[in-house]
Structure 1
Amino acid sequence: MMTRQIDKPDDCREMGSTSALIMAGSRPAGDPMAESRGIAVKALIPVAGKAMLAHVAEALLAHKKISNLYLLAQDFEPFWDNPDTQALKSDDRVIAKTSSATIASSLDSVLEREDMRFPVLITTADNVLLSEQMIGDFLSIAGSADIAIAVVEKKTLLKRYPASQRTWLKLRGGQYSGANLFYFGSPKARQILQYWAAVEQDRKKGWKILTIFGPWLLFLAVTRMLTIDQLASRVGKKLGLKIKIVSMAQAEACIDVDKESDLVMVEQIIESRS
């Protein structure tokens, strides 16, 4: 299996065939960025004059491959009261679902619904730079996979944004940062959530999840004896799943808004686009 990086998407799925889900909840301890602004939830922090969630929801709902959109959060009143996001309440394509104690359990409760239509693209409300091109590229490569995970290679990011600082997973042949884009191609992909639940508090530490799959796999990864595709293949075989790694061509795919410096960079990028 080889990581593919593309510049133009292949139209491999019919129009409106993919569900989308945005994780827009709050951290148990609260978010410093939201609290410093007196805002109820991080997803409503204004970015370039518009709430984070509005940027992401608009990008997904405008894409021809997206059929409907699930919103996952603890409380929706702040969204329905905000002028940037209140229209989502009356949009027939938007389904609001209250989240539970953890990310993994919240996702599982939505994905197990009888009316859930697979495949499902999952992202976060702070993925503000999500674009039509990113969505199309990611879905076209994800294809028939059970699970697809988007990453950005270090050289791709630093070539365009040399000052950007990210958390890197170092493997044979490259270093990678997560892009907050995930793809569940079928219901059986839900089984990965039990592993996600075990490590989600350390999700910024890319190696942490590997401890679950045994010391040998962890050893091969940390000694950089495996490429990222070989690693995905081995994990997939253990789970009986087809896992794809999608190396995004757009450096912006891994730039979300986690801290104040990210917000400054994202607003500069949006301004340059316009």
Structure 2
Amino acid sequence: MQAQWTCIVLAGQRPGPDMLAQHFGLEHKALVPVCGEPMICHVVRTLHLSPHIGKIIILSQDIEHLRSAVDAAGGAILVESQNSISLSIKAQAETLGFSSPLLVTTADHPLLTVAMIEEFLRHADGDVAVAMVERQTMLKQFPDAQRTWLRFSDGAWSGANLFALMTQKSSFALELWAGAEQDRKKAWRLFLHFGLLLAIRALTRSVGLHQALEKAGKRLGLDARLVSMSDPVAAIDVDKLSDHLLAENILMERETPSGDT
């Protein structure tokens, strides 16, 4: 299968100290070990295994500290990022000129699998697509899961750290993202950027997330889609110690042949 996608991996640091990195005596969250290997290694190696991915670009404010880990996982292009996540992605998209569609993921997603990438890219359509996991899908496998849920009329949703930018029009979404990054975990505040009515409908849960994204996209003149992921693990990134413990347990289970005790 011919590789068609360029993947951008976000491996930067938000302002202030990262509590998880500090727990492990590290400065960079992307280097926190999961099952004895830096998180970013798991991500980069998985991307190399996907037949859909051609070029891999790592964005970080401190690329030299990540170089050895990235090289150990098969290598990637390391690019110094700006302070804004969205503007950093936009700069790369403009440099590439959308010669290939872009998949965006994060370095704190060590549970990412080739199957997740396959499912997301198979269903990604339009100009922009966002992967999410619905709460019931998560609770069936992880009844005690603690995530940030965006609640809408079609369920409660948690992000899966997978984004597809497929056309030049997606630059409009990145520009909006630059002004709304601080609102990413408050649905009504996020949709306030698309107008008061949509924000009220999000606040009162009188609109589904699928429809809300489509309406928000139309405000920007683009086609925005939600991809509902079937594997709840897609929504498990590693932000805190409880996530870290869960991630290590899941990875160890994957490595244990079925039937073994």
Question: What is the identity percentage for the equivalent residue pairs of Structure 1 and Structure 2?
Answer: 39
Report how far residue 116 of structure 1 moved: 5.0
Q: Which residue among 62, 70, 86 is the counterpart of 1:85?
A: 70
Instruction: Map 1:32-111 onto structure 2 (within 5 A).
Output: 32-81=19-68, 84-87=69-72, 91=75, 94-111=76-93
Aligned-partner residue type, residue 150 of structure 1? A
Contact (CA 8 Å) 1:51, 1:85: kept in 2 or not? no
- Pairs aligned (count): 255
Residue aligning to 1:259: 240
- Whole-Å separation in 1 of the counterparts to 2:177 and 2:90: 11
Structure 1, unpaired ranges of 5+: 1-13
Report how far residue 219 of structure 1 moved: 1.2
Residue 112 of structure 1 aligns to a residue whose secondary structure is: helix
Q: Does 1:167 align with 2:148?
A: yes
Residue 264 of structure 1 aligns to a residue whose secondary structure is: helix
Contact (CA 8 Å) 1:152, 1:247: kept in 2 or not? yes
From the superposition, tell whether residues 96 and 271 of structure 1 become closer, same or farther in structure 2 (CA, over 3 Å). same
- Whole-Å separation in 2 of the counterparts to 1:36 and 1:117: 41
How high is the TM-score relative to the length of structure 2?
0.93
- Whole-Å separation in 1 of the counterparts to 2:143 and 2:199: 30
Contact (CA 8 Å) 1:154, 1:176: kept in 2 or not? yes
Aligned-partner residue type, residue 76 of structure 1? I
1:141-167 superposed Cα distances (whole Å, 9 cap, x missing partner): 004x20000000000001100111111
Structure 2, unpaired ranges of 5+: 256-261
- Whole-Å separation in 2 of the counterparts to 1:112 and 1:47: 34
The runs of 4+ residues in structure 1 deviating greater than 6 Å are: none
Residue aligning to 2:258: none
Contact (CA 8 Å) 2:98, 2:168: kept in 1 or not? no
From the superposition, tell whether residues 116 and 146 of structure 1 become closer, same or farther in structure 2 (CA, over 3 Å). closer
Report how far residue 201 of structure 1 moved: 2.1
Residue 230 of structure 2 aligns to a residue whose secondary structure is: coil
Q: Does 1:119 align with 2:106?
A: no
Aligned-partner residue type, residue 140 of structure 2? K
Aligned-partner residue type, residue 139 of structure 1? L
Contact (CA 8 Å) 1:118, 1:187: kept in 2 or not? no
Which structure is higher in RCO with an 8 Å CA cutoff and minimum separation 6?
A: 1
Q: Which residue among 191, 194, 203 is the counterpart of 1:210?
A: 191
- Whole-Å separation in 1 of the counterparts to 2:101 and 2:173: 15
Q: Does 1:155 align with 2:136?
A: yes
- Whole-Å separation in 1 of the counterparts to 2:116 and 2:194: 30
How high is the TM-score relative to the length of structure 1?
0.89
Report how far residue 240 of structure 1 moved: 1.2
